[in-house]
Amino acid sequence: MRKALFLCSYSLLILSFLNLSCTADKEETIIDLCGIENISFSLDIEPVLDASCINCHNSVNANAGIALDSYEDAKDAANSGQLLGSVKHEPGYSKMPPSGKLDSCEIVRIEEWIDKGLPE
């Protein structure tokens, strides 16, 4: 039992070191993996929202007052923090879309779009 506990905490220690050494270039790697370059609303974000969100979030039927079928409205949702909070399933936000999480590159694209200042 003792030995098992020791092994266990030892591997946790190693794991946390590995994790530390990865964080520096982690973001860049994910962005490379997802093939993100010159991010823009029309090329990278609009297709995701069109496919997964606008049925329930458009100017006619805006659940929770959120419309995502135009650049201006999507920008408002991004600026309020709700867009990212909901797709990342962060505490305090409704989990979106209701059918399950977007794929991780789609989420990274949304995050990168926000980081880059919401280019149109």
Whether the Cβ atoms of residue 57 and residue 66 lie closer than 8 Å to each other: yes
List all residues 6 or more positions away from 31 whose beta carbon is below 8 Å from its beta carbon.
Answer: 108, 112
Q: Which two tokens stand for residue 109?
A: 């694209």
Residue nearer to ligand HEC on the CB measure, 13 or 51: 51
Q: Which two tokens stand for residue 66?
A: 């959120």
Write the interaction track for ligand HEC spanning residues 66-105; mark x where CB under 6 A is met and - where it is not.
x-x--------x----xx--xx-----xx-xxx---x---
What does the binding site for ligand HEC look like in residue numbers (CB under 6 A)? 52-53, 55-57, 63-64, 66, 68, 77, 82-83, 86-87, 93-94, 96-98, 102
